[in-house]
Amino acid sequence: MLISARQGSILRRIQETGDVSVQQLADDLGVSLSTIRRDLNQLSSEGQLRRVHGGGSLDAEKIPFREVLAAGPPSKENIARRAAELVRDGDVVLLDIGTTTALLARALRGRQITVMTSSIAVLDELRTDTEVELVILGGVLRRSYHSLVGSMTLESLANIRASIGFLGCSGVRPDTTVLDTTGIEVPVKHALLAASSNIVLLADETKFPGVGLREVCTASRIGTLVTSKGADPQTLEAFRTSGSEVILA
């Protein structure tokens, strides 16, 4: 089997099932374990899948939120602190789900602002803060990733307007396409874009290209990108060319 055909088969299987093991792929495709590992590593480097222990995955729910937070690069905290500086007192702030926005919520503690979110992780960070006015959007609980999703979440977002919105992602392509891995979250992200006057994308160096097959937006919708010094320089330049401010935290 040609390499392109084999890798195409691997991607189709992951899209169908959410994740696959090295052993399963080797047995099904009739090749060695080392061949499958090379294929998975290459597809991961291209942002086609997420390389996990023993296989590959497209589904963020396969990796518990606490593990994602614990395994995240130190640059996430730097990004969160720098992003917090973009918020002014009195702002209405809309926070996306994800580990970096949870860290941003922590950095916003004690501020005289309103925070609106569908993230349970943000709720956990701000529930005891008496300065921040916290608004939790309705929805169905997605336990594995500490978020609320569904029609109630979308209806809530359709009825609000934020002065600044912070968007997370699972990957950023060299052409500035912002990606996510889970279809159930993408409509929420689209609604967040529509509800915010100013959009800030938070993406650490591992998100270039990261993973994901579902498009959220492109740089034309991003006012500011806050990222880390290890991010791909060509992609950052493409954001600047599109008119986005790029901040290295």
- What are the tens digits of pLDDT across the range 157-178? 999 999 999 999 989 999 999 9
Provide φ and ψ at 63, rounded to 5°: -115, 110
Q: CA-CA distance, 80 to 161, in Å (whole number)?
A: 22
Task: Report the predicted TM-score, pTM, of the whole model to 2 decimal places.
Answer: 0.76
Query: What is the pLDDT averaged over residues 23-48?
Result: 86
Inform me whether the pLDDT recorded for 71 exceeds 90: no
Q: What integer pLDDT is reported at residue 160 of this predicted model?
A: 95
58 or 227, which is more confident: 227
43 or 14, which is more confident: 43
- What are the tens digits of pLDDT across the range 234-243? 999 999 999 9
Query: What is the pLDDT averaged over residues 99-123?
Result: 96
The pLDDT confidence band at residue 49, using thresholds 50, 70 and 90, is: confident
Is-contact 242 218, C-beta < 8 A? yes
Q: What integer pLDDT is reported at residue 51 of this predicted model?
A: 81
Tell me which residue of 87, 90, 56, 61 sits closest to 202, measured CA to CA.
Answer: 87
Q: Which residues of 19-28 are buried (b: 16+ CB within 10 A; e: fewer)?
A: bbebeebbee
Tell me which residue of 9, 14, 7 sits closest to 38, measured CA to CA.
Answer: 7
Query: What is the pLDDT averaged over residues 63-79?
Result: 68
Inform me whether the pLDDT recorded for 15 exceeds 80: no
Q: What integer pLDDT is reported at residue 54 of this predicted model?
A: 86
Average pLDDT, the chain: 88
